Amino acid sequence: MQHPEMLLGVIFLLCLASVPLAGGRLGALAEMELRATWLVLAGLGAQILVISVFPDGAGVLHTGVHLASYAFIAAFVAANWTRVPFVWLIALGGALNLVAIAANGGVMPADPDALAAAGIVTPAGEFSNSTAVTDPRLLFLGDVLYLPSSWPVHNVFSVGDVLIVVGSFLALHTIGGSKLAFNALATLPPAPRPAG
């Protein structure tokens, strides 16, 4: 079975490799001063544990850890809200994924046709963060998009995942100062102060 982390990881590496190709500087990423990086590492580590290392058993513990991983990542995003360009777009993608996951008992609902086209099969008794569910809620936010099984990296993915990838691409190029940097929407404008 392909895991969504593999697909997102490959795409992230391609985004990273595109920075110097567009005249940007990867060293600028190392110069960023991020806060509470342990939070994102804990969140991603929790997802890897329940999805890849200990997938057996689709019980409350797995779904709880899966949901908690999003809380860690959300806390990291909040801590770095003003430090990372386009973090608002990445956060929006993550929030859409979380809404779909929370509405479906801790798993991302996936379109059965998309799963079949991508060649994804979840072994019985294993936790899957993305699977076909009975009577899915908010399926349009779920894994309804796919790369076909004939591709080297094939999987299903969501609109939220697309926003995460686009936000990451824009963030990397903006930080690296490449020709594809897009500063206009890099950060949200500050909220207006109440009168008085």
Residue 5's pLDDT is 57
pLDDT one-digit tens code per residue, 18-62: 999 999 999 998 898 889 989 988 988 888 777 666 766 656 777
Residue 15's pLDDT is 92
Q: Which long-range contacts (CB under 8 A, 24 or more apart) does 63-67 make?
A: 63/105, 63/106, 63/107, 63/127, 64/106, 66/101, 66/106, 66/107, 66/127, 66/129, 67/98, 67/101, 67/102, 67/106
Domain ranges of the chain: 4-14+26-176
The token pair at 52 is 């890849």
pLDDT one-digit tens code per residue, 128-177: 778 888 999 999 999 999 999 898 888 899 999 999 999 999 999 999 99
Confidence of residue 2 (pLDDT cuts 50, 70, 90): very low
Confidence of residue 1 (pLDDT cuts 50, 70, 90): very low
pLDDT one-digit tens code per residue, 87-129: 999 999 999 999 999 999 888 999 999 999 998 887 666 667 7
Residue 158's pLDDT is 94
Q: Which long-range contacts (CB under 8 A, 24 or more apart) does 131-137 make?
A: 131/107, 133/104, 133/105, 133/107, 133/109, 136/104, 136/109, 137/100, 137/103, 137/104, 137/109
pLDDT one-digit tens code per residue, 63-74: 788 788 888 989
Query: Is the per-residue pLDDT at 189 higher than 60?
Result: no
Query: Is the per-residue pLDDT at 4 higher than 60?
Result: no
Distances (CA, A) of 17 to 2, 14, 30: 23, 5, 15
Query: Is the per-residue pLDDT at 182 higher than 90?
Result: no
